[in-house]
Structure 1
Amino acid sequence: MDHTAMKTFHNFDCRPTQTGNSLIYFYFQGYNTSIQGSRLAGGQKQRIAIARAVLSNPKILLLDEATSALDAKSEKEVQIGLERAYQGRTTIVVAHRLSTIRHANHIIGLKAGQIEEQGTHKDLMELNGSYAQAVKLQRLENSHDDNDEDENEDYEKENNQAFGKRRRRDSRCSTHSKTSSTTDDDETKQITAAPKSTSRKPFFLRILALNSPEWLSILLGSITSLIYGAVTPAYALIFSLVFGLFNQDVETAERNARNYSILVFCVGLAGGLCQFISSYAFARSGEALTLRMRVISFVTMLRQEMSWYDLEENQHNILVARLSKDAASLKGMTGVTIGAFLNAVGTLVAGLVISFNAGWKLTLVLLCFTPLIVLTGYMLGQRVSKAGQAKGFSSHAEHGSTYATESLKHIRTVTSLGLQNHFIRLYKNAYNKEFRSSLWQSQKIVIGNAIANTIMFFIQLTAFGYGAHLVINREMTYVGVFQIFAVVTYATVAFGRSVSMVPNYSRAKEASIKIMDLHARQSLIDPYKENEGKVLHEVRGVIEFRDVSFKYPSRKESRVLRHLSFKCKRGKTTAVIGPSGSGKSTCIALLERFYDPQQGEVLLDGHDLRTLNIQWLRSIIGLVPQEPALFNISIRDNIAYGDTTRKFTDAEIYEVARQADIHDFVIKLAQVSLKFLKEHK
């Protein structure tokens, strides 16, 4: 916003007015206007994308049908910005509308991945080939800047006859190979094969290694959890000794009762303190691990090559769900769960020591129930673990998430076609299937928990039955029997509580395996390998495709590019045209190194792109796609995303906006908004 507009800005209440609409508020902010809510037109958004592309002053500019989605008027406005952006740069234009590449220095016509014809506009018109026929159909020779909207519709129909409608490929499987001899099957295996861990460490130790920065919290939590586990048998021992007071004289009973009360108070105090420290320590380490694993997943996802995203199991909505669900499930392996396991260990050890000291025979008999308790816990863990393994990317819940994402993303289309009930039905059916599947698994878990917790009553029955026999035979006192009964009962309850958390641990383990497998996967084209590849100190901008062949694994029967060879001169504009599927956009993708060719080379100043540093290569390239991918931030910040290596002044942002022919539009909106507010103040 200029200084006049900025000065006036502070004199008004920048909220939606009662007389106008909320757009006044958005537009009034000028370059601080948020993209979401501003309702900018397609041409305006495209010019913002152009400004972002030229902000870093790229040596190479790639335009992938940058105006094909615009109407005639918007196309003219965007074309002005593009022609300014061409100046001084090597530019490659993929075009469907031939009006946008009429003045290109070199025009290449593709057909079935090969060059059909090439030359200037004049040369190709004299050749009277496919290009000339398409020009005639689109009436370019007799209509340049005076085309109205009706004529533009006619051109669209005729253009479709000449080159066919362009079809966007939303899901492409691709490949990467450092040599031209890699077979298609090998490429597909490279992309789809799950990484195999080379570590022989036990799984829990591998997770613990990721949690190593919080080792002090884990150590403190472990010690206090063990102590807290011993508190329960200690209390049970004191509680059983109280019954022995009825067999003592008054003075002795009074003295012992006072001592036992003090002991109970100390045990309770120690238990409360240990529980607080344990919960805090494990909560801290567990949250830290969850955050770390979530960040690891996100970083690894962003580093993968485009071919990885083209796989069905790596669709964006599934990846987002995986980030949320898997990372959250990790809490079942840390925090309260680990504390409960350690509590059980402390309870078990203390209980065995006290029980064997009170009467080893009765203790050994009661220990016969231990294998059943362990087996129940193991079965619970295995059931949940297998259930987790059975769920891949095609689980019912993830299908439901896909339906929701698609319908909300294309809400205008869904509404116009009246498909709301259709998507509601798909969403409901998916989650109904998920509900039935989860209900069956839940029933198994409930049965296992019930068995684990009812074992306590059988233990009590055995303790009193066999204990009475030992008392009658004078092998034990009734106080000793009650000690073992109380200790074993409390220990069994604690152990049952630990077993009930096995499902949480199993889910967490499955989630951890997914995350660690993802982390172990090495990107075939990793942009963050800063030390790999050459950096050219001087870039002339000469681009060459030399005998390039390429095809997508999902379409193995059809090769997209066939021994393609052409050269783009320094500082010149090269246009690539052709029907749908001829390989136009594939050329752009190869230049950006989204993919690598199976055969041949793509060269920059004589250097194979695969030998250059990826980050540096992409930093010298400006890309303007067909659909402007703007982020939900301000216009200024969207432009500044063109180069995040430094901060830009307002003057620099304004300059690239002028080059893209969008600056005057933003300022004009702010001024109109100010005028409106003055009139309605």
Structure 2
Amino acid sequence: EMFIPYYTGKVIDLLSSRYDHRAFLIAISYMFMTSMGSSISAGLRGGLFMFTMYSLNKRVRNQLFSNLVQQEIGFFEATRTGDITSRLSTDTALMSRSIAANVNIFLRSLVKTVGILFFMFSLSWQLTILMFFESPLTIVIQELYNKYHMKLVQDVQDSIAKSNQLAGEIVSGIRTVRSFATETEESELFEEKLQVTHQLKTKRDIVRAVYLVCHRHVQLAMQVIMLYYGQYLIHTRQMSSGKLVAFIMYQMNFGENVRTLVHMYSEMIHSVGAAEKVFEYLDRKSSVPTDGKLVVEQLKGDVKFRNVSFSYPTRPDVQALKNVSFELKCGEITALVGPSGGGKTTCVALLERFYQPQSGEILLDGKPIEEYEHKYYHNKLGLVGQEPVLFALSIEENICYGLPSCPRSSVVEAAQRANANAFIKRLENGYSTDVGEAGGQLSAGEKQRIAIARALIRQPQILMLDEATSSLDVESEHTIQQALSRDTRQTILVVAHRLKTVEKADKIIVINDGRVVEEGKHHQLMEQKGYYHRLLQKLSHNGEQDTAEF
């Protein structure tokens, strides 16, 4: 590509002097070969680097996502969802483009700049020295432009992200917006966000326009000076017309390459920040290790909390559990009861290994739970929460979630035990019905029954129900409890507020303020006349015991 201006000058000199057909054909042939070679190499280089960029982007995003899903739950509670998605999309793309595209352009421009300087010196050292007066001005203008423009580009992106976030919140909470009749206010707020974005884009475009005006004036002024001095060199026979044309072509390419070098350097420096953010997550290790290796053929399912104390990562100064000890026996239904915020759900979260306790240990069949192999351990546990999460899949795929092979007969059996088969069969597409985003096509009770079926189909040794029947009617709840009580090989832990749900449990553990205050059967706790008894007495006096909630 760098030879094209040189041979263009040769052709002009041949045409402006005594015509030599052979020399003309040779010059034209060289121009054709260099042009073809330049086009082919540019296409191959561009295609190779684009392929490299997309492959690198895919690989980095895959590795980043794989590492993110291995992090402990506390990481997701402390990190905003927008930051995580930004790392996965914007920062990985910027990093990949920097390595593949920016480095490619930077190296190409650097090589071309050195080659152009060589040709320019060979054509006219006087004009080359004169040209260097343009470079400092070009660099200064480009640096100022990069400084302000990049900041405005970032501000525009942040502004767009804020308006998108607001729109997402309004759409997801449209029921609340409608119930408070704030549609107009939300529309005005969204318009304000869009106006901020519009103002930032206007500033960005003004900066771009000023940059282009300044750059074109400097470029035109230098070309006028070059032409004037070049005419002098031709007049004094120090230079031919063809060489002057070749030099001006090189000078234009040189200015473009210098600007590209400055811009690419700024882009690469900017990309370093994105790369640091990506590698910060790539190198992060979970505070809840999942490197256990223990796999046993026969798991009984006895669980023991031994002097467990725990504080949430977002609230390290507040102890959620304080020296908690209790046991769950195989074949028994154990109920955790107590006031909201007492620590019941925290016990479930620790047993699921969402967090790591600060002191104490949790044993499964006498072995610390962190010693068990991660996938094996969680295949032995089944959890159904108060607000179960369903994915935008069919009902059958949601029930089979996480299982590599799952026959329809097993799905139907699990749905029957969860009292879900009847309503599923009434749907037009049955088990193939799409539940919608987050299960939005189903009611709260239907989602809970699907979640219970999803837990039961795995045939877990330990089944945890954290307010799992709170959205069900009494008849459905009774049916599910009967189905669960028939399996005497499971360890069942129930977290509930309804007294009717827990009074038939084999053991009731009362937790208040992060401590176990009482445990025993329903009649034993009533005879002790402690916290459990006082609460029931209070509810009984208010005439609420049949529907009472802790």
SS at match of 2:168: helix
- Partner Cα distance (2:215, 2:387) in 1: 59
- Could you say which residue in structure 2 is the equivalent of 1:360? 125
- Partner Cα distance (2:430, 2:332) in 1: 39
- TM-aligned CA distance change 1:259 to 1:297, over 3 Å: same
Give 2:167's match in structure 1, choosing from 404, 408, 425: 404
- Partner Cα distance (1:343, 1:484) in 2: 20
- TM-aligned CA distance change 1:282 to 1:593, over 3 Å: same
Give 1:520's match in structure 2, choosing from 277, 283, 286: 283
- Partner Cα distance (1:436, 1:451) in 2: 23
SS at match of 2:393: coil
SS at match of 2:24: helix
Amino acid at match of 2:250: V
TM-score by length of 2: 0.69
- TM-aligned CA distance change 1:427 to 1:618, over 3 Å: farther
Kept in 1: contact 2:156–2:197 (CA 8 A): no
Kept in 2: contact 1:236–1:490 (CA 8 A): no
- Partner Cα distance (1:598, 1:390) in 2: 41
- TM-aligned CA distance change 1:243 to 1:668, over 3 Å: closer
- Could you say which residue in structure 2 is the equivalent of 1:460? 223
- Could you say which residue in structure 2 is the equivalent of 1:609? 369
Amino acid at match of 1:234: F
Amino acid at match of 2:163: G
Report deviation, 1:300.
2.3
Say whether 1:538 aligns with 2:278: no
- Partner Cα distance (1:419, 1:497) in 2: 50
Q: Which has the higher relative contact order, 1 or 2, with Cα contacts under 8 A spaced 6 or more apart?
A: 1
- Partner Cα distance (1:638, 1:376) in 2: 58
Amino acid at match of 1:333: S
SS at match of 1:560: strand
Kept in 1: contact 2:110–2:257 (CA 8 A): no
- Could you say which residue in structure 1 is the equivalent of 2:413? 655
Say whether 1:265 aligns with 2:32: yes
State which drifts further: 569-578 or 367-376. Answer: 367-376
Report deviation, 1:290.
1.7
Say whether 1:333 aligns with 2:104: no
Report deviation, 1:557.
4.9
- TM-aligned CA distance change 1:382 to 1:670, over 3 Å: closer
Give 1:349's match in structure 2, choosing from 100, 114, 121: 114
Amino acid at match of 2:13: G
Q: Deviations over 1:390-431 (max 9, x none)?
A: 999xx4443333322322223323333323333333333334
Say whether 1:301 aligns with 2:61: no
- Partner Cα distance (1:525, 1:435) in 2: 45
Aligned pairs for 1:628-643 within 5 A: 628-641=388-401, 643=402
- Partner Cα distance (2:91, 2:149) in 1: 15
Kept in 2: contact 1:549–1:563 (CA 8 A): yes
Give 2:179's match in structure 1, choosing from 416, 419, 422: 416
Report deviation, 1:574.
0.9
SS at match of 2:69: helix
Report deviation, 1:639.
0.9
TM-score by length of 1: 0.57
Give the number of equivalent residue pairs: 431
Say whether 1:599 aligns with 2:366: no
SS at match of 2:134: helix
SS at match of 1:602: strand
- Could you say which residue in structure 2 is the equivalent of 1:667? 425
- Partner Cα distance (2:312, 2:430) in 1: 50
Give 5+ residue unaligned stretches, structure 1.
1-230, 674-681
Aligned pairs for 1:450-529 within 5 A: 450-452=213-215, 454-471=217-234, 475-496=238-259, 499=262, 505=268, 508-527=271-290, 529=291
Kept in 2: contact 1:332–1:505 (CA 8 A): no
Amino acid at match of 2:286: S
- Could you say which residue in structure 2 is the equivalent of 1:237? 6
- TM-aligned CA distance change 1:521 to 1:376, over 3 Å: farther
- TM-aligned CA distance change 1:479 to 1:631, over 3 Å: closer
Kept in 2: contact 1:453–1:496 (CA 8 A): no
SS at match of 2:347: helix
Kept in 1: contact 2:307–2:361 (CA 8 A): yes
- Partner Cα distance (1:616, 1:541) in 2: 13
Say whether 1:627 aligns with 2:394: no
Report deviation, 1:585.
0.8
- TM-aligned CA distance change 1:290 to 1:426, over 3 Å: farther
- Partner Cα distance (2:148, 2:275) in 1: 17
Kept in 2: contact 1:534–1:612 (CA 8 A): yes
- Could you say which residue in structure 2 is the equivalent of 1:285? 52
- Could you say which residue in structure 1 is the equivalent of 2:81? 316
Kept in 1: contact 2:306–2:325 (CA 8 A): yes
- Partner Cα distance (1:556, 1:362) in 2: 70
State which drifts further: 255-264 or 442-451. Answer: 442-451
Q: Percent sequence identity over matched residues?
A: 25
Say whether 1:561 aligns with 2:321: yes
Kept in 1: contact 2:153–2:204 (CA 8 A): no
Q: Deviations over 1:337-362 (max 9, x none)?
A: 44433442343122112111122232
- Partner Cα distance (2:264, 2:191) in 1: 30
Report deviation, 1:657.
2.0
- Partner Cα distance (1:581, 1:391) in 2: 42
Give 5+ residue unaligned stretches, structure 2.
432-550
- Partner Cα distance (1:500, 1:453) in 2: 17
- Could you say which residue in structure 2 is the equivalent of 1:575? 335
Kept in 2: contact 1:333–1:508 (CA 8 A): yes
Kept in 2: contact 1:240–1:483 (CA 8 A): yes
Q: Deviations over 1:139-181 (max 9, x none)?
A: xxxxxxxxxxxxxxxxxxxxxxxxxxxxxxxxxxxxxxxxxxx
- Partner Cα distance (2:202, 2:387) in 1: 44
SS at match of 1:423: helix
Kept in 2: contact 1:380–1:503 (CA 8 A): no
Amino acid at match of 1:559: Q
- Partner Cα distance (1:272, 1:599) in 2: 67
Report deviation, 1:333.
1.9
- TM-aligned CA distance change 1:671 to 1:283, over 3 Å: closer
Give 1:547's match in structure 2, choosing from 299, 307, 331: 307
SS at match of 1:521: coil
